[in-house]
């Protein structure tokens, strides 16, 4: 460090960042969000549409298992990644 100065430089502005809520997947049997690591390769499908009022361009399926009750499940994720 030069001159022992720390922190943000004088005159630097604070950036306002809105928060985005992310809900974790949960077990359909017991409701727990505690899961094993995803196994195998994710399966991706390029579909466009709406899910729960939000647009999506891709659906990703990942296999996992509940750590609490052992129920096998597939987590679905709807992503909106517009083409550049």
Give the tokens for residue 76.
Answer: 């679905």
Domain locations in the chain as residue ranges: 39-79
Q: How far apart are CA 46 and CA 35, in angstroms?
A: 26
Q: What is the per-residue pLDDT for 15?
A: 86
Mean pLDDT by 10 residues, the chain (84 residues): 74 88 93 97 94 93 97 96 79
pLDDT at 42: 97
Detail the DSSP E strand segments found in 18-71: 39-45, 49-51, 54-56, 58-65
């Amino acid at each position: 460090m030069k001159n022992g100065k720390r922190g943000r430089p004088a005159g630097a502005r604070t950036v306002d960042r809105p928060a985005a809520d992310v809900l974790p997947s949960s077990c359909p049997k017991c409701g727990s969000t505690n899961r094993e690591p995803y196994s195998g390769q994710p399966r991706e499908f390029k579909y466009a549409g709406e899910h729960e009022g939000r647009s999506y361009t891709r659906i990703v399926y990942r296999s996992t298992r509940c750590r609490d009750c052992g129920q096998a499940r597939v987590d679905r994720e709807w992503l909106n990644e517009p083409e550049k």
